[in-house]
């Protein structure tokens, strides 16, 4: 390893966001002398990249680990609120981050120039700003900005040939967002946590949080949960019929989609059974299906959830890997537009060289004189829509990476293809002269872009035989189906993300993180209830927990602005104005502080009352979670063996539900780590239930065991 003291001077210090990004930048701009250096002689110091670029320029390319600096309460008092005096400081507990800061600080002392090469968005701007200001002793204003949307060598080199002035508006907007989110988050989180502690005289502690984006997002789920619980199912009946022509069966439904009484439905069926149908009208309409628009991050997350069931946060993590590998453009974008400055033909040509099936999909596009994408209306001043670079992977991609890359490539190609055309047919069938049934068909006439986007297209064919007006159809069967009105569907991760976008809360980069926090706090959880099964195809929906419901109810009663979409939406608008130079960050932050002062005063007055309501919800939720039934008690054959957590030791064990009545004393210990659930199996040796234990997310860390501690199978042999 080389050291700082043998470096050629002068050199330019380049600040990147992550190690992988720094390596890509260094490799792209290097013409010679690519090597790793470890400045100083202290053990554990990070190694950065030293290279020589064009015109014999010397660069040291360093990296952060995401945010190296965070906001803290300047007074350092952990439980007090309100808090308005905050400051930036190296993130506590991040020893590696501290070493990186020290090393960059040492390098900055002899650097002749500085280049900010972190991700070109608000978060990236703040990461680089803090490093240049605090580690490099106020060098942000003197730095230059590298802007690139892909990590290809060509674009990185171009960005270094055309370095920009510091993007002060973006830095101010990013810092202001952090400041506002921090003061809202720390004040409400401390207030909630303290109210919980005070309400039970300090006997219990629970880390609670709420923020200006968390609040409205949780409220969406809670409001949906309330709607579901209030819904009273009402019965209705539908009538289906099967007709036949030339051996082909035609499925048809009664024109009234809901029949309110059984007597009316029975009367219709009796009148139509064994009666021929006569076609009174055949309507055919050509439908044009425009190509899809290019992906922005939200669209990609929703489509990846629909197709692969990837969570939004998982999709973002994969997209980030693909970006660092120079396989796609920058993923954290709101844009649905591809600028004309992109060389579409070159990208498509590169994609075609990736092999089957892309060579066939791209060939028809490459034969065109002009390539014009079908764009959406959303724009992003920092980055275009997501597109593939056409670069060949330099390493092996895992299955999830390959799936997402394939989706992005095919979506990109599909935007340049022709519209698809289908023929939609609606047939009106009269039975017994007064009852009307309808059948619908859809036939693809020209696949256009669908041919490229397979197998991800949602458009399907529904075949109908050739039908003409006045044709007589044989009636095979008429049947009644009893149904019940359904409450609105629960959100899944894609639909909740879409709701956040529609209401304009959060950012493209933070929405999935907000959802993850709500899960972590146990404010929301997954469920496969009947409502979800009926509306989401059996997939997991999102349910508000008792704690989450109570948090929202308390906030709406005492501090309603924290769950208001208006507050968050207005704040997003003000932050955008800061970025555009239309507002001052100090004025926006002062306005937020003034608002919080009044809100915190109200909260303080109702602290005990709020805490008691949340405590009751927490205890009720814990009791429900504790009483998981593992099966029938083999001793009394009457009660249920349920999982219980001791109020004194907090250890979990199995006990019979008849224990409290004195009818049965069956108990057994349980493992204290991992998740436990019923397997539905019975031990063949002792007739006690068999439970399943899970450790982490890996299925290999899963095992079954007999609950009975005295089971003969557990005796040593």
Q: What are the catalytic residues?
A: 330
The terminus-to-terminus CA distance of the chain in angstroms comes to 58
User: Apex CA 672: angle with CA 669 and CA 673, to 5°?
Assistant: 145
Q: What is the CA radius of gyration of the chain?
A: 31
Measure the CA–CA gap between 649 and 167, rounded to whole angstroms.
Answer: 56
Tell me, what DSSP letter sits at residue 563?
G
Tell me which H or E stretch contains 654: strand 652-656
Measure the CA–CA gap between 438 and 253, rounded to whole angstroms.
Answer: 6
Measure the CA–CA gap between 187 and 210, rounded to whole angstroms.
Answer: 9
Q: Is 154 exposed, middle or buried (0-12, 13-18, 19+ CB in 10 A)?
A: middle
Residues in the chain, how many? 717
Phi, psi at residue 429, to the nearest 5°? -115, 125
> Which strands, in side-by-side order, build the sheet including 628-632?
628-632, 640-645, 652-656, 667-669
Residue 626, classed as helix, strand or coil, is helix
What lies within 8 Å, CB to CB, of 355 at 6+ separation is none
Measure the CA–CA gap between 114 and 59, rounded to whole angstroms.
Answer: 10
Given the DSSP bridges, would you call strands 12-16 and 58-63 parallel, antiparallel or unpaired? Answer: parallel
What lies within 8 Å, CB to CB, of 585 at 6+ separation is 172, 173, 175, 176, 179, 578
What lies within 8 Å, CB to CB, of 684 at 6+ separation is none
Please name every residue paired with 300 in a beta bridge, in sequence order, or none if there are none. none
Tell me, what DSSP letter sits at residue 647?
T
- How is 110-139 classified by DSSP, letter by letter? T-SEEEE-S-SSHHHHHHHHHIIIIITTS-
The answer to whether 710 touches 669, Cβ cutoff 8 Å, is no
């Amino acid at each position: 390893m080389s050291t700082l003291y043998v470096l050629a001077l002068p050199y330019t210090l380049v600040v990147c966001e992550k190690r992988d990004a720094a390596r890509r930048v260094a490799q792209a701009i290097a013409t010679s002398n690519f090597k790793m250096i470890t400045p100083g002689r202290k053990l554990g110091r990070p190694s950065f990249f030293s290279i020589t670029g064009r015109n014999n320029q010397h660069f040291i390319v360093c990296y952060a680990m995401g945010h190296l600096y965070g906001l803290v309460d300047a007074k350092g008092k952990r439980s007090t609120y309100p808090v308005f005096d905050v400051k930036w400081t190296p993130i506590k507990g991040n020893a590696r981050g501290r070493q990186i800061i020290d090393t960059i600080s040492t390098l900055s002392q002899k650097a002749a120039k500085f280049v900010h090469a972190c991700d070109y968005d608000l978060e990236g701007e703040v990461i680089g700003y803090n490093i240049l200001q605090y580690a490099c002793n106020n060098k942000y204003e003197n730095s230059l900005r590298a802007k690139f949307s892909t990590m290809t060598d060509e674009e990185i080199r171009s960005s270094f040939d055309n370095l920009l002035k510091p993007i002060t508006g973006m830095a101010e907007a990013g810092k202001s967002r952090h400041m506002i989110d921090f003061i809202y988050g720390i004040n409400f989180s401390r207030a909630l946590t303290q109210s919980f502690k005070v309400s039970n005289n300090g006997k219990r502690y629970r880390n609670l949080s709420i923020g200006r984006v968390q609040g409205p997002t949780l409220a969406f789920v809670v409001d949906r949960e309330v709607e579901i619980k209030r819904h009273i199912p009402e019965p209705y009946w539908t009538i289906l019929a099967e007709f036949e022509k030339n051996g082909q069966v035609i499925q048809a439904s009664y024109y009234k989609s809901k029949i309110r009484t059984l007597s009316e439905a029975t009367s219709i069926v009796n009148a139509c059974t064994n009666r021929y149908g006569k076609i009174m009208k055949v309507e055919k309409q050509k439908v044009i299906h425009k190509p899809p628009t290019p992906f922005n991050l939200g669209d990609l997350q929703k489509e990846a959830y629909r197709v692969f069931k990837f969570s939004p946060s998982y999709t973002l993590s994969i997209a980030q890997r693909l970006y660092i590998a120079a396989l796609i453009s920058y993923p954290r974008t709101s844009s649905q537009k591809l600028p004309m400055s992109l060389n579409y033909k070159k990208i498509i040509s590169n994609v075609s060289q990736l092999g089957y099936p892309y060579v066939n999909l791209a060939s028809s596009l490459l034969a065109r004189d002009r390539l014009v994408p079908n764009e959406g209306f959303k724009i992003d001043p920092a980055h275009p829509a997501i597109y593939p670079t056409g670069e060949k992977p330099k390493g092996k991609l895992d299955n999830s990476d390959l799936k997402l890359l394939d989706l992005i490539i095919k979506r990109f190609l599909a935007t340049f293809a022709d519209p698809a055309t289908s023929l939609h047919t609606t047939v009106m069938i009269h039975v017994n002269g007064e009852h009307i049934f309808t059948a619908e068909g859809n036939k693809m006439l020209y696949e256009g872009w669908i041919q490229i986007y397979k197998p991800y297209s949602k458009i399907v064919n529904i075949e109908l035989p050739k039908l003409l007006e006045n044709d007589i159809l044989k009636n095979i069967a008429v049947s009644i189906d009893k149904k019940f009105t359904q409450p609105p569907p629960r959100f899944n991760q894609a639909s909740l993300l879409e709701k956040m976008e529609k209401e304009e809360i959060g950012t493209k980069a933070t929405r999935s993180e907000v959802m993850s926090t709500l899960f972590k706090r146990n404010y929301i959880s997954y469920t496969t209830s009947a409502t979800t099964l009926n509306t989401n195809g059996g997939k997991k929906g999102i349910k508000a927990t008792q704690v989450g419901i109570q948090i929202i109810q308390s906030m709406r009663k005492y501090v309603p602005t924290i769950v208001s979409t208006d507050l968050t939406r207005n704040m997003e608008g003000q932050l955008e104005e800061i970025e555009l130079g239309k507002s001052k960050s100090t004025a926006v932050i002062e306005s937020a502080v003034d608002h919080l002062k009044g809100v915190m005063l109200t909260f303080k007055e109702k602290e005990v009352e709020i805490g008691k309501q949340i405590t009751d919800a927490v205890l009720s939720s814990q009791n429900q979670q504790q009483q998981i039934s593992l099966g029938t008690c083999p001793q009394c054959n009457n009660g249920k063996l349920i999982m219980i957590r001791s109020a004194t030791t907090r250890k979990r064990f199995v006990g019979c539900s008849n224990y409290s009545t004195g009818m049965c004393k069956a108990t057994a210990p349980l493992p204290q780590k991992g998740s436990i659930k019923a397997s539905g199996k019975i031990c063949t040796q002792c007739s006690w239930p068999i439970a399943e234990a899970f450790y982490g997310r890996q299925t290999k860390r899963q095992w079954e065991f007999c609950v009975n501690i005295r089971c003969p199978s557990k005796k040593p042999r």
